[in-house]
Amino acid sequence: MADASRQTPGSVRTLVRTRQRGLRFAGAAHAAPAIDPLALRIVAEPELITAMAETLRPDDAAAAGQLWAAVQAAVSERSVQPELLLHAARFARRSGRQQQAATWLQDALALSPRDLDALILYGQVATELSRPQEGAAALERAIALGADYPDVHLRLGDALRAEGRRRAAAQAYRRALQLNERLTAAREALRAIVEEEGKGATHELPA
């Protein structure tokens, strides 16, 4: 399998052009439905989605649209795998399609309930969709399964804070700082909670 992380912008454009040519050929031949060549590549190599998304220029709406169409076609395959759904969800979130990302992540977790990457991303996406209780539950499960990482505790703190559970959020931020004392976002969030509760006790913050 090719290393998708080594895909260059040129090769990404080539894949997009290949998709366009393949669909035009199928249309000219009156094939129904047309086989999307880029979607087939994505099914075989799901990591291509992330590799290609990272090389898209912000102003290249055409290429982004082609990639999105190919991702949708790939996900519609009957034998879709959790890895494909995860990469598709990452691209959906990157494209501002949080609801679609959440749906694909739910599908991925239905197939692989212990997938840490899917749990962590779902926790973040659910929080962004104003469903912090779901987000916190997913992140807590990920941590219980071994994802004891500073960024995960930071996201858990954000979800708990959005849910109104400030003390639990403070505990999550403290754990994040125990694991990485340089995590500024956790320190600032913890300080804000202390101020919100009117304690003004900065000595409670990790040094």
pLDDT tens-place string over residues 155-190 = 999 999 999 999 999 999 999 999 999 999 999 999
Q: Is the per-residue pLDDT at 21 higher than 80? A: no
* Residue 55 near residue 77, CB atoms below 8 Å: no
* Residue 66 near residue 20, CB atoms below 8 Å: yes
Domain ranges of the chain: 1-96
Element (H, E) at 65: helix 61-75
Q: How confident is the model at residue 18 (pLDDT cuts 50, 70, 90)?
A: low
Whether the model pTM is above 0.85: no
- pLDDT in the model for residue 207: 44
Q: Kindly report the number of other CB atoms within 10 A of residue 179's CB atom.
A: 16
Residues 24, 173: Cα–Cα separation, whole Å: 53
* Residue 172 near residue 156, CB atoms below 8 Å: yes
Q: Kindly report the number of other CB atoms within 10 A of residue 148's CB atom.
A: 12
- Which range has the worst mean pLDDT, 25-29, 34-38, 147-151, 184-188? 25-29
Q: What is the largest CA-CA distance in the chain?
A: 73
Alpha-carbon distances of 86 from 13, 31, 91, 148, 160, rounded to whole Å: 23, 30, 9, 20, 24
Among 109, 165, 166, smallest CA distance to 138 is for 109
Q: Is the per-residue pLDDT at 57 higher than 70? A: yes
Question: What six digits make up the tokens of 6?
Answer: 């080594």
Tell me the helices (H) and strands (E) count for the chain, helix number first: 11, 0
